[in-house]
Structure 1
Amino acid sequence: MIEAVKIWNEPNNKSHWDPNLDPEWSLFANMTCLAGQAIGEANPDVTRVLGGMSPIDPGFLRRLEARGVMEAVDVVAVHGFPLDWNLWSIDEWPAKVGEIRAVVDKPVWVTEVGVSAFGSEEVQAWGVKKTADLLIGQAPRIFWYSLYDLPQAWGATTRHKEAEGSSYYRHFHMGLLREDGSPKAALEAYRPYAADMGLCQWFHYHDHRLDEAVGIMRDLGVRHVRTGISWADSFREGALEWFDRQMEALAPFDTTVTFCFTPEHRGVEPHHTSPPQVAEEYAQFCADMVSRYAPRRAAPALPVEVSEEAA
C-alpha cells in the first residue's frame, strides 16, 4: 500500500531542479504548497514528504519554511552519501539528522542513503552495517539506495555525466545486486536490517526487473519500499497501464512514492529539472495518482440510534 507521497526528489540538487530558473525558491515553494494541499484533499491519511534534501542544508529548509512549505508537508526527508559524494564523515549521520530536527518540528526521514561498490565491494558491505548501526532508531524511515546497480546503458540523472569523473561512475555501483542480478557481499550484509531499513529502488518505464525485484525484497524481509512515478512518463503511450502494473506489484510493501521530473513540454524550459509552467498541473498529477493508488477510505457508517418511542 502507499503510506507516503514524496513531493519531488532532491530539490536543492541542480540535477533535479534548476536553481538558475528559480533563484529564490519561490516557484518550488509554490508548487510544493499546491501539491501538498492537493494530496491532502485526495487522501488526508497519506503522509506528505518534502523531497529529500541533498545536500542536507538547514538554511534551505528555513527558506522554504518562510514561504509556507512546512504547512503543506508532514515529514522532511534527507539524503546522504558520505563515502561517495558528501564532504562529511559517515559517523556524522546522527548529527546531520539532528541539524534538521533543530530547525523544523517535523519527523525526519532518511529516504536515500547508500555506499557504492565502485572502489570495493567489501567497503560497500561494511557501509551497510555501519549505516544501519548509525541510523536505525534515529529516523522513523530509512531507505537504502538501492537494490540493483544502475545499468550502464541507461545513464545517471545528473547534468555533467562523464565530465564528473569517478563521481559520475559511482552512480552505477550503488546496488546490493549487480546489473545482471548477481549478488554482491552487501546483499547478505543488508539482510539482518531489512525489516528496519527499507529499500529505495527506482523502476524505469516498463522496467524488466520489477517482478524479480519484488521476489527478492520479499525474500529479504523488506517491509518499506521507496520508488517513483514520473510526471514526465505520464505523457507516454500506455503510461497508466505501466503505473498500474508497478503499483500492483509493490502492493505487499508499505510504499513511499516520489512524484518527480517535469515533462519537457510543460517546463519553463524543456528539461526535467525545470520548474513547471503551471504549478497547478503538477499538483493535479499528484492528486490524480493518490486518488488512483491510495484512494480515500469511506468513513464507517455510524450506528442508527432508535428511540424507545420509535421502537
Structure 2
Amino acid sequence: MIEAAMIWNEPNNKSHWDPELDPDWSRFARMAILAADAIAAENPAITRVLGGISPIDAGFISLMKGYGVLNQVDAVAVHGFPLDWNLWQMHEWPQKLNEIAQVTDLPIWVSEAGVSSFGAEEVQAWGLRRTAELLRGKAPRVQWYSLYDLPHAWGATTRHREVEGSSYYRHFYMGLLREDGTTKPAIREFLRHTPEMGLVQWFHFEDHRLGDAVAWMKRLGVTNLRTGLSWADSFRPNALDWFDRQMEALSDFDVTVTFCFTPEHRGLQPHHTSPPQAPEEFAEFCASMLRRYAPGVSSTAVPMRRVSAA
C-alpha cells in the first residue's frame, strides 16, 4: 500500500518550516537525514522522497545536497502553482524541472501541481489540461492538488492571511470537487489523465470526507495518491484509531505518505512549523508509522528505488 515516504512538506516555504528558527536549514537537514535513515532501517523497499519544495528553487536542493541529505533519499519533489502563487508562467514547467535536474541526478517527482477555480472554473479546467500536456513523460510521479476544495470553516495552513486578498482565498478553491461535493468542469479533464496522473488529498483529523473521497478516487481511476500522517496529530486522543481508519480506507491505492508538522510541545517554539527540540523524535515517528502500516519486506523483494522518468 505505501510505496513512498515523503520527509516533510514544502520545507523551503515558511508556511511549513520556520526560517527564523533555522535560517540555514541545517536543523532541517539533520532531521531529514535522521528520518531517511529510520525509514530505510524499517523498510528498505520504501522510496524516500525529500519533501516537495515550493517555490521550485534549485538553490535549496543544492543546499540539501551540500548537507548530505540527497545521499539519504531516493527522489526529490517539487510543487508548482503558476496560475495562482508562483512568479513564472505555465509554459515554464519543463524549464523548472530542468533547473532541478541540473543540480541532482535523483528522480524529480511533481508531488503537487494545481490550479484554483478562484477566478473561474473554466480556467482551472484549462490549467489542468495544459499541466498534463507539459508534464506528460517528464516525471515519474505527477500528482494533482487536490480532490476537494478546502472547507471555509477550517482555515488554510499558510503564511497568507485574509488581508492578502486572493493569495489566501485561492487555497479554498483547489479541488476538483466543491466543498459540498458537487463536481467542477475540471473533473472531466482529470478523467482523461488517470491513472498516469495521481492525486493529492490531505485528510484532517477524523475527516468526515474520507469514505466519499475513496469512492470518488476509484470512480476517477486514481491509482496513486499522496496524503499525510501528522506527527502533531499523533498526540491527539484516539490518534491511532484515526490513522488506522485512514490507512485502511486507502489500502487499494499506491500511497505516498508525507510525514510532517511538529507537535507544539515538542518544537523549539509552540508551532507546527518549528524545528523539533529533538529531531530523533520525528525520525522515530516516521519509523513507528512504517512499522504499523508498511512493515519491512523480505530481502527477496525488489526495492522501489531510483524510479526513472518515462
- For Structure 1 versus Structure 2, the TM-score category normalised by the shorter chain is over 0.9
The equivalent of 2:61 in structure 1 is 61
The equivalent of 2:267 in structure 1 is 267
Note if 1:162 corresponds to 2:197: no
Matches within 5 A, 1:1-311: 1-299=1-299
Compute the displacement of 1:160 (Å).
Answer: 3.9
In the alignment, the residues of structure 2 paired with residue 73 and residue 164 of structure 1 have an alpha-carbon distance, to the nearest angstrom, of 36
Q: Secondary structure at the match of 1:110?
A: strand
In the alignment, the residues of structure 2 paired with residue 200 and residue 155 of structure 1 have an alpha-carbon distance, to the nearest angstrom, of 18
Deviation track 1:73-124 (CA, whole Å, cap 9, x = no partner) reads 1100000000000010000001101111110010000000100000000000
Compute the displacement of 1:298 (Å).
Answer: 3.2
Match for 1:35: what amino acid? A
Q: Secondary structure at the match of 1:193?
A: coil
Change (3 A) 1:167 1:160: closer
In the alignment, the residues of structure 1 paired with residue 42 and residue 209 of structure 2 have an alpha-carbon distance, to the nearest angstrom, of 31
In the alignment, the residues of structure 2 paired with residue 285 and residue 136 of structure 1 have an alpha-carbon distance, to the nearest angstrom, of 35
TM-score, normalisation: structure 1: 0.95
Deviation track 1:19-64 (CA, whole Å, cap 9, x = no partner) reads 0000111100000000000000000000000001100011111111
Q: Secondary structure at the match of 1:14?
A: coil
In the alignment, the residues of structure 2 paired with residue 245 and residue 146 of structure 1 have an alpha-carbon distance, to the nearest angstrom, of 21
Deviation track 1:230-257 (CA, whole Å, cap 9, x = no partner) reads 0000000000010011011111110000
In the alignment, the residues of structure 2 paired with residue 108 and residue 169 of structure 1 have an alpha-carbon distance, to the nearest angstrom, of 29
The equivalent of 1:305 in structure 2 is none
For structure 2, which runs of at least 5 residues remain unmatched after alignment? 302-310
Match for 1:199: what amino acid? L
In the alignment, the residues of structure 2 paired with residue 149 and residue 300 of structure 1 have an alpha-carbon distance, to the nearest angstrom, of 42
The equivalent of 1:304 in structure 2 is none
In the alignment, the residues of structure 1 paired with residue 159 and residue 125 of structure 2 have an alpha-carbon distance, to the nearest angstrom, of 29
Bigger radius of gyration = 1
Compute the displacement of 1:299 (Å).
Answer: 4.2
Compute the displacement of 1:300 (Å).
Answer: 6.0
In the alignment, the residues of structure 2 paired with residue 73 and residue 32 of structure 1 have an alpha-carbon distance, to the nearest angstrom, of 9
TM-score, normalisation: structure 2: 0.96
Match for 2:221: what amino acid? G
Q: Percent identity?
A: 66
For structure 1, which runs of at least 5 residues remain unmatched after alignment? 302-311
Q: Secondary structure at the match of 1:53?
A: coil
Compute the displacement of 1:71 (Å).
Answer: 1.1
What number of residue pairs does the alignment pair up?
Answer: 301
Does the aligned pair in 1 maintain the 2:101–2:108 contact within 8 Å? yes
The equivalent of 2:307 in structure 1 is none
Deviation track 1:195-249 (CA, whole Å, cap 9, x = no partner) reads 1110000000000000111011001100110000000000000000100110111
> Structure 1 stretch 155-164 or stretch 43-52: which is displaced more?
155-164
How well do the aligned residues superpose, as a CA RMSD in angstroms? Answer: 1.0
Match for 1:59: what amino acid? G
Compute the displacement of 1:165 (Å).
Answer: 1.1
